[in-house]
Amino acid sequence: MLSGEFPNVNSSFELDNTTCKAIGGAITKSTLNIPSSIFEGTFRGQYTCIFKNISKKRGSMRSVDWIVFMQCVLPTLVFEQLAQEYGPDALQVEALMSYVIGCCLALQWEIDQDDLINIKKHFQNWHLHMKNEVDNNMYTINFHLLRHIHGTVKALSPLRAYSTKLTKRSIGFFKKHVKSQVSPRENAGNVIKQQLLIRNFSRVYYGDDCLGEEPEKDEYTVPGYPHIELWDPCLSTTDNTMLAPLRTYWDSFFH
């Protein structure tokens, strides 16, 4: 919306190409003085693409990148240009800042009753501007979902406490190991089961410190014991004389 990517559409926030390039240049210069460890997203170079070459680079932006862009770039570099273009008290400038404030409040680890009231108020301001001043096809599902944040936080606690962002790493891990095209369901089930067995062994034997480690060389082996194969637990000790001593051994080993 800021870069004017949508022609013949009233997006209310559009900035000309020269201004967008100036913002991109300012972002590039600022990255030299910002330690990369400060942000969850990849600050260096990513946000410049939004303004300098949005049609080709926008797809490389992750959710965490957009969140940092919203928290750090919108209320500073972008706000400055919007205020100069439309005036600091313009409806679209106030609406955009309501959007930023509402999101920043919702991203806190601790949210009190006053925060909840402000979250609801700021997202309502943003919603009314989008509804009354911007073309209907600009009002996406993401803007609609912002109106539910107040009720969601009130019912379930701050968003950060149960964010699904960290599950993306787990999804990528399992996706890499599910390779069967004939029986993907069974393959996925076996991969998950084997991983749970590894994590359970690691927790009992090594403690919780090693749970973030992944199996070496993509092999599902017990950490530190690459020759051990993982089998299903023995539920019965009557069908095979070998199972009884095995069970006795592991019982004594792990108490």
Residue ranges per domain, the chain? 17-162, 167-254
pTM, entire model = 0.60
Task: State yes or no: pLDDT of 211 exceeds 80.
Answer: no
The confidence score (pLDDT) of residue 245 equals 74
Q: Which of 27, 74, 79, 86 is nearest to 53 (CA)?
A: 27
What are 115-173's pLDDT values in tens digits?
999 999 999 999 999 888 888 877 888 888 899 999 999 998 898 887 776 677 778 78
Report the alpha-carbon distance of residue 127 to residue 122 in Å, rounded. Answer: 9
Q: What angle do CA 81, 85, 86 make, to 5 degrees?
A: 120
Query: Is the pLDDT score of 96 beyond 50?
Result: yes
Residue 106 to residues 43, 71, 83, 150, 178: CA-CA distances in angstroms? 21, 12, 25, 8, 36
Q: Mean pLDDT of all residues in the chain?
A: 76
Q: For the chain, what's the residue count?
A: 255
| CA 2-160-196 angle, 5° bins | 120
- Rounded CA-CA distance 119/126 in Å is 11
pLDDT at 248 over 80: no
Cα–Cα distance between 15 and 253 in angstroms, integer?
A: 68
Quick count: other Cβ atoms within 10 Å of Cβ 48?
Answer: 20
Residues 100/75, Cβ–Cβ less than 8 Å: yes
- Helix (H) / strand (E) element for 56: namely helix 54-57
Q: Which among 210, 174, 176 has a CA at the least distance from the CA of 194?
A: 174
